[in-house]
Structure formats: C-alpha cells, structure tokens
Homo-oligomer: A and B are copies of this chain.
Amino acid sequence: MSDTTEAASQTLAEQLLEAIEQNDGEAMAILVNDMPAPDFAEFVREQALDLSHKLLSFLAIEQRARVFGYFQPEDQKALAEQMPQATLAELLTHMNSDERADLFNQLADNLKAQVMRLLAHNEREDLRLLASYAEGTAGALMSSDYVAVPARSTVAQAFEIIRATAPSAETVYDIYCIDHMGRLVGTVSLRQLILARKEARLEKVMATEVVTATVDEAQETVANLIAHYDLLALPIIDLGGRLVGIVTYDDAMDVAEQEATEDIHRGASVQPLDRGLSTSSLFAVYKSRVVWLVLLVFGNIFSGAGIAHFEDTIAAQVALVFFLPLLIGSGGNAGSQAATLIVRGLATGEVRMRDWFRLFGREVLIAAALGLTMALAIAPIGAIRGGEIIAMTVGLTMVTVVIFGSLAGLSLPFLLRRIGWDPATASAPLVTTLIDACGVLIYFGIATALLNLPAAT
C-alpha cells in the first residue's frame, strides 16, 4: 500500500529526527541505511550542511553516491565543495556517469582541475567526454554505463559480459550489439536472451531496426522518442554511428516533467527558469517575468487609446463603462482557453498544423454557443442597468467578442508555429492583451451604431 509506504517513510524520517536529537549514532546509521535513496535525499535537503555530511557518512560509498544523484544541483554543489578533495573524487568515481558529469559541471574551475587529477584514467576520460556536451542535448543527458557486446558473440558469451557489467550498468535489460568499430548494429533484450539458445550468435537474434538519437539531439526529442516507442533506454550515437551512451526512461520522465513545467510557465508569460522556483535567485525570477510584463504594458496602451478615442460615446452613455471590463474580459478569457487548448495539443502532437481549418470550423460553433450562453447570462443585468437597448448592445457585443476572441486565440498558436516561433508564446496574458484592444473597438462600435450615439472623433 502506498499509504503504508509513505507512512513508513514518514516514520523513518521522524525516527531519524529523534535519533539526531538524542545524538544516537547507532540508530542514525541504521535508519539512514533503511531509507529509500530518494526519500533520504529529500530528508537531507532540509538539514544543515554539517548534519548532512554526518548523515551521509553513515552510508557505504555506493549508496552515498546513489543518494547524491537525487540531490538538487545546488545542494550537490554546496556539499561537494565542503568535502575533502579525495572524498569528492571517490564519490565521483562511484556515481552514475551522467550524474557525475552533471555534478562536475557545477564545480568551480579550480576544483574541477584538482579533482580531475585524483580520478583514475578511465573515469577521467569518461567525465571529460560527458561533461563536454551542451546542456539540453542528448549528450548531456546520457549515461555511459551501458552493456555493449560484440554482435558476433554467442548468447552464452553475452551472459558473461552482462554478469561482469551488471553491478555498474544503468540497465542490463537492453543489450547493445556493436561491430569491431564500436558502431551500433542491433539491440537484443535480456528477455530475448533468456529465451534464446546458448550457442546462438547475437547477430542472428538481435533487432536491427534500432531507434537511436545523436549526441546533439535536443533532450525533448529524446524524451519524446522514449515515450513514443515505449523504450527502456534510447541508445545515443556519435556522428560516425558509434555507440557512446544511453538515455534511460527515468531520465526521460524527468525531462518530460521539466518540459511541461516550461510550457506551463510560458503559458503565463514566464520565461523558463533554470532551477526550481524556491532555489532560483531573486534576480533570475525577476528576469524571467519582467520582459513580457513590460511588453504587455505597451500592448495594453492600445486598449487605453481605444477607450480614450470613444470618450464622447462614454460621456453620452456612462452605463456603458459598467460593462466594459466584463465584455472585453470575456473575449480574452475565451481566447486564452482556445489558445491554451491548441498550444498543448501541438506540444503533445495531438493537434497538427493541417488541423487548423477543421478546428477553426468547430470553434465557430463552440464559440457561438459560448457567446450566446454568456449573452443570456448578462443581458438581464444590462436591461436593469440601462434598459432594452443597453441589454441588446451588451448581448450582441458578448457574442461578437467571444467568437472573435476564440477564433483569434485558436489561430495565434498556428500562426506562431508557421513563422517558426514556439506556439507556447501565445500565452494567456498575450492573448488577453491582444483581444482586449479589439474588444474595446467592437464594444464601442456596436454601441455607437445601436444607441445612435455621436461617433468617435
């Protein structure tokens, strides 16, 4: 039961807190080793640095390296910089190759150089390579801890290699078959190997149609490939077709979460943050928000100019002002809804560029129904505040702005992608601002016509 599991972990955390309070080293050692690595990492995150070092010291180096992989980057860095260099080098040696490279990339330059000197040749070369790929690429995401077997091996030979590699490999369930140049020529699953004859050669058993990505592929594409083909791991190759790493499904899940977060932030006109909200610097949060806020201020000037333009109309019929925010707001809200549905659909691949025409047709009907519903809701209030004509003006405007707003909101993401921009730029605030300005013109245009008011000058 997850309830039980969570409750059990809760209790472990509580027991550990108690042991810390009583300075009971023996109890601490037992509890720390009982806690699952992700839970222990979360626990340590809440503690002071000194205590964190002490708690980590209760773990064997392999487990300590595992826990370290679950820390937030900034916590990793803080802990690493306080360690004796030899301890840090030992930790790096035992970490997964991809997590090792991530940690290494965060260290200060002089510390990097010093630690490098303390590593064994193999680790040093591996680290140098993995740390060299640009953030956000398959190369930066991949691990070099995979099982590669010559395609000419027999199944029995493959099992020997797997047994020898199993303790350090990220996964032993997909086995990569390579030729004498190190090029990936096929894959075979451990499941297939278990069912195969011991003397069969891998090249007879392996699948040769392999989904792969190159080291410079975007991490988002890598995550999408893993999700689309339900892969356990995606092999990563260099430009010469040589196998250089794998990205496992759990890393793909992390990337997918990170990409969803970025899309959600963009949807509110926030530019992606490099770190979590809690750990980003104040300036980083400021920077991620200020650009769009200022741009939108200038966008809103058009609405203001529109209202100012209809000054005489407003003066002649002040009741109109009462309905201004709700009419232009409704257009903006309906538009954000439509834009958000499309932006997400394009992101998941459920909506494609060629769907625009069909979805536009559907949206005409949906938006008309929405506009009519909202007009019916608000018209009685219009009648009470200003009589029949005001009710008619408000109702007609509502239908018009909701249809206009919805169609504009639906089309904007398609338009943005067509010109090569990220459709997620069509954020709710941007859509609202654009539609607000048009809503002002629609409202006062209809009012001027219906109420026989003096036209704007």
Partner of A322, one of B172, B254, B304, B365: B304
A344 and B290 contacting across the interface, CB-CB below 8 Å = no
A62-89 vs B: 1/0 string, CB under 8 Å? 0000000000000000000000000000
User: How many angstroms from the CA of A416 to the CA of B370 in the assembled complex?
Assistant: 27
Partner of A355, one of B278, B325, B351, B433: B278
Interface window among A100-108, A121-129, A159-167, A448-456: A159-167
Q: Which residue of B lies closest to A368 (CB)?
A: B286
Within 8 A of B (CB), among A327-386: 328-330, 332-334, 336-337, 339-345, 348, 350-351, 355, 358-359, 362, 365-366, 369-370, 373-374, 377-378, 381
Interface window among A15-23, A52-60, A109-117, A257-265: A257-265
A36 and B209 contacting across the interface, CB-CB below 8 Å = yes
Q: A340-B268, A436-B325 are in contact. Are A277 and B190 (CB under 8 A)?
A: no
CB-defined contacts of A328 to chain B, threshold 8 Å: 325
A38 at the interface (CB under 8 A from B): yes
**Nearest Cβ distance between residue A253 and chain B, in whole angstroms?**
5
Q: A194-B159, A278-B351 are in contact. Are A321 and B311 (CB under 8 A)?
A: yes
A134 at the interface (CB under 8 A from B): no
B300 and A326 contacting across the interface, CB-CB below 8 Å = yes
Q: A162-B194, A172-B191 are in contact. Are A322 and B308 (CB under 8 A)?
A: yes
Q: A163-B195, A300-B329 are in contact. Are A373 and B290 (CB under 8 A)?
A: yes
Partner of A263, one of B264, B341, B350: B264
B429 and A277 contacting across the interface, CB-CB below 8 Å = no
Q: Which residue of B lies closest to A1 (CB)?
A: B214
User: How many angstroms from the CA of A366 to the CA of B303 in the assembled complex?
Assistant: 27
A38 and B277 contacting across the interface, CB-CB below 8 Å = no
**Nearest Cβ distance between residue A371 and chain B, in whole angstroms?**
9
A230-269 vs B: 1/0 string, CB under 8 Å? 1010000100010000000110111011001101110111
Q: Which residue of B lies closest to A36 (CB)?
A: B229
Partner of A267, one of B211, B222, B264, B303: B264
How many copies of this protein are present in the complex? 2
Chain A contact residues (Cβ within 8 angstroms of B): what range?
A: 35 or more
A301 and B282 contacting across the interface, CB-CB below 8 Å = no
A181 at the interface (CB under 8 A from B): no
A149 at the interface (CB under 8 A from B): no
A221 at the interface (CB under 8 A from B): yes
A270 and B325 contacting across the interface, CB-CB below 8 Å = no
User: How many angstroms from the CA of A190 to the CA of B169 in the assembled complex?
Assistant: 13
A110-149 vs B: 1/0 string, CB under 8 Å? 0000000000000000000000000000000000000000
CB-defined contacts of A191 to chain B, threshold 8 Å: 166, 172-173
A403 at the interface (CB under 8 A from B): no
B333 and A277 contacting across the interface, CB-CB below 8 Å = no
A-B CB contact pairs (8 Å), 5 listed: A38-B228, A172-B190, A292-B333, A297-B377, A308-B321
Besides A173-B173, A268-B341, 5 other CB < 8 A contacts? A293-B337, A293-B374, A300-B329, A301-B381, A305-B322
A binding-site residues for B, Cβ under 8 Å:
1-5, 34, 36, 38, 159, 162-163, 166-167, 172-173, 190-191, 194-195, 209, 211-214, 217, 221-222, 225-230, 232, 237, 241, 249-250, 252-254, 256-257, 260-261, 263-265, 267-270, 276-278, 282, 285-286, 289-290, 292-294, 296-298, 300-301, 303-305, 307-308, 311, 314-315, 318-319, 321-326, 328-330, 332-334, 336-337, 339-345, 348, 350-351, 355, 358-359, 362, 365-366, 369-370, 373-374, 377-378, 381, 402, 428-429, 432-433, 436, 440
